[in-house]
Structure 1
């Protein structure tokens, strides 16, 4: 039956055409309009949501309840904003902003890192918390999703200043976290030093030794293997891909961006597995080894970045070229591992990588490739794996640390590593099988997004949309 509306006495316009036009609006456009209407100034969050929506059309069509669940998932359960006052070394009062985005607790306590960087804002933390929710689901561990941080930048600060800031930050955040509520970890700008200061202040505020922060040092609740788990996990899932294609990592030329925790340990594991690691980078440029770096050279860089906190341009090593103000993607390689930060790899970088023969792009950072870059990789038949699968080893390692804290017991490094390998193998299996079941074998973006979403959505439906 057609619906009609009358304009004047003799003009009839059929609403059937209008209805058809409305029905042809894609789910992605509906979500885009929904997000822009609510959060028009949050581009990173919108990007993460739209990347996810683009993969979920089939699920939405088969089960309309999933679309309603996704709309709920576009809103975090809770956003906590607070001020962080602290005194610098000259006794001047400084004020930073702090946030904790508790995104979704359907599968377990909120779990996700803290990022301390001058670029941090609510849009970035919401995108990270959104991604974290589905990443945590892929691990198979009972963990919800969250993220937090501050616009405080530890670079150039003394240990004393970092300590004062961390203590002030945790004084406020301690009201909202706990081992069965919300368990923060590290991220950009938050390493073992910062975690130590944060955890110490948590114990002072709460009088509790529960494992409420992960990434702790060995000797006060940390576990062997946690610091390397994101980088090692990235290489383990890459090896699962090679195995499925009857290929080997041995001799593969690998370009890595970043020089933080993920990049350094991904490089270490890749070298030990026989790959040729050609690059590392920081915000000022990248270093290039034509014949691949050695593990002893990498050890010097790890010392530089974790102890003296220097820049890559300061490193003095044989057979190394430093390329200031460039990204490593211009160097020909077989595998690209973007491990620095969001949107570091744009469509021009993607075109250069493909032209130079790169076949595998496995994300080690959170959303390091722009939407246009991902489209180019997929149209070029490259093997692309998104960060929510590629860097899930980090949160798996955090989950293992939480388990050991609850048991008051430590696993050996070998036990930890074996569990990490098993988890990354299972993630690869889940992502691969999901993409094949949906009729797009090899589309690992589709597989990761649909598998992670379905785990969360089914739990929310079972719990009454909670």
Structure 2
């Protein structure tokens, strides 16, 4: 039987938004929780008031507008939503000025949320609370390499929000992982996981180890050391780590092996803990969102030439699903460079690339031996290749302003993020200016959370496609309600925030 919190968390934006009124009384909560869970009902109504259109006669609570947002060195109040957003960003800078990536995430998000603060000032106080994670864990990971030398890395797990449900989120291994990136990804995961409409909290973890230049034995010893400490803070119904950057089925298997060595309970409600979910879920989700976006424009993926940046498990599953839609994947890339197939990468060529990349540390350069048509690092930049769509699935910040301009000049009509933070904040502005379609990672990377919530037996591709269509529709409606028609980045932030914030209002100051 669903709890009151679960019912609220499952409400679609058209129902949830009515809870954004100035007064959120228990009677209102009760009436909302009994409404149908269909986003089609009342789709034209405002997310905040339930009225038609975006210019509503909302009764703003003056009491909240008159309260100080901060009380450090004198009371600090705000008059507009944008002023509240700027105050929140300034506070994040004051506390964590050295964590640039996290500050960028907060700034981008708060700018999107400013219309909510205008309509209901109370939400600015919820946003202030949400900027601080519930729990942040950093620890030493000591392990021995193949030569007998003791190695040292930092381990992280940030349990950001459990307002909607138990913590869940990826583990990332890579030399780029640090406290700023972990906090940024954790903050973004709050909104991304909330978009699914399932009882899913937000957490992110990882370590600054590079898994690609280590032997299998070294990775196993590292994972065992990492889990020995992490096991104190995670578990079924508490925190569910999932695969992320640099973490595949093998790493998850090593982590689970150590976890069950330490703990007795390793499953809950029929769902196995730390299970290696279907690795295709993230990539398939990205492809489904790309298809939804094109269909919304009266187009389809059929015949589209797609530039894929990266060659990890997500990039390759994106290519696999694109082929089923009739699209033409053109490229893959890694540390060695990029491979380009002028006539496209078909199923046979993709199978060859899969075989190469499934070997730890293997580089794409080996593919040239198996293909007579592939071009390696020709042209010099993968962005010089004409395409219809670009799906970056590799490093954070791969797509900057110059990259967007180059893609647009070469005929690209859209960028769909297949990796976390692949598009920089500055590049997002250029995408909007040049009129390119943009699928933000908060929206496109909801596949893993959907798959886990549905369970292994129910997480079929057809069910994933249906959930993606529902989420896309919710985000699109949300963007329209807040005068940001077509801005999926703003829509995703607002819809995710409302889901979390409305539950947090019922929990009080916790």
CA deviations over 1:78-124 (Å, ceiling 9, x no partner)? 00111111111111111111010000000111110111111110000
Is 1:318 equivalent to 2:362 in the alignment?
Answer: no
Residue 26 of structure 1 deviates from its aligned partner by: 3.0
Determine which of 339, 357, 380 is the counterpart of 2:434: 380
Matched residue, 1:187: 244
Residue 395 of structure 1 deviates from its aligned partner by: 2.0
Matched residue, 2:22: none
Paired residues of 1:284 and 1:326 also in contact (CA < 8 A) = no
Alignment of 1:69-84 (within 5 A): 69-84=126-141
CA deviations over 1:242-288 (Å, ceiling 9, x no partner)? 22222111111111111111111001110121111111111332211
Matched residue, 1:344: 398
Is 1:233 equivalent to 2:290 in the alignment?
Answer: no
Paired residues of 2:78 and 2:84 also in contact (CA < 8 A) = no
Matched residue, 2:333: 281
Shift in CA distance, 52/22, structure 1 to aligned 2, threshold 3 Å: closer
Determine which of 283, 291, 294 is the counterpart of 2:346: 294
Residue 328 of structure 1 deviates from its aligned partner by: 2.4
Q: Tell me how large the CA RMSD over aligned residues is.
A: 2.0
Determine which of 382, 385, 396 is the counterpart of 1:328: 382
Matched residue, 2:464: 420
Paired residues of 1:185 and 1:398 also in contact (CA < 8 A) = no
Ranges of 4+ aligned residues in structure 1 off by more than 6 Å: none
SS at 2:359's partner residue? helix
Is 1:64 equivalent to 2:121 in the alignment?
Answer: yes
Matched residue, 1:140: 197
Is 1:249 equivalent to 2:301 in the alignment?
Answer: yes
Matched residue, 1:12: none
Paired residues of 2:138 and 2:155 also in contact (CA < 8 A) = yes
Matched residue, 2:507: 463
Paired residues of 1:184 and 1:212 also in contact (CA < 8 A) = no
Q: Number of paired residues?
A: 430
Shift in CA distance, 93/323, structure 1 to aligned 2, threshold 3 Å: same
Is 1:155 equivalent to 2:155 in the alignment?
Answer: no
CA deviations over 1:48-74 (Å, ceiling 9, x no partner)? 111111211100111111111111111
Matched residue, 2:84: 27
Paired residues of 2:213 and 2:361 also in contact (CA < 8 A) = no
Matched residue, 1:88: 145
TM-score (norm 2): 0.81
Alignment of 1:390-405 (within 5 A): 390-401=444-455
Paired residues of 2:266 and 2:273 also in contact (CA < 8 A) = no
Residue 312 of structure 1 deviates from its aligned partner by: 1.1
Paired residues of 2:194 and 2:201 also in contact (CA < 8 A) = yes
- The whole-number CA distance in structure 2 between the counterparts of 1:67 and 1:326 is 47
Matched residue, 1:262: 314
Matched residue, 2:473: 429
Paired residues of 2:168 and 2:241 also in contact (CA < 8 A) = yes
Shift in CA distance, 61/85, structure 1 to aligned 2, threshold 3 Å: same
Paired residues of 1:285 and 1:324 also in contact (CA < 8 A) = no
Paired residues of 1:254 and 1:336 also in contact (CA < 8 A) = yes
- The whole-number CA distance in structure 2 between the counterparts of 1:134 and 1:452 is 4
- The whole-number CA distance in structure 1 between the counterparts of 2:336 and 2:495 is 37
Residue 465 of structure 1 deviates from its aligned partner by: 4.1
Is 1:126 equivalent to 2:183 in the alignment?
Answer: yes
Shift in CA distance, 327/425, structure 1 to aligned 2, threshold 3 Å: farther
TM-score (norm 1): 0.88
- The whole-number CA distance in structure 1 between the counterparts of 2:287 and 2:90 is 38
Paired residues of 1:114 and 1:188 also in contact (CA < 8 A) = yes
Matched residue, 2:72: none
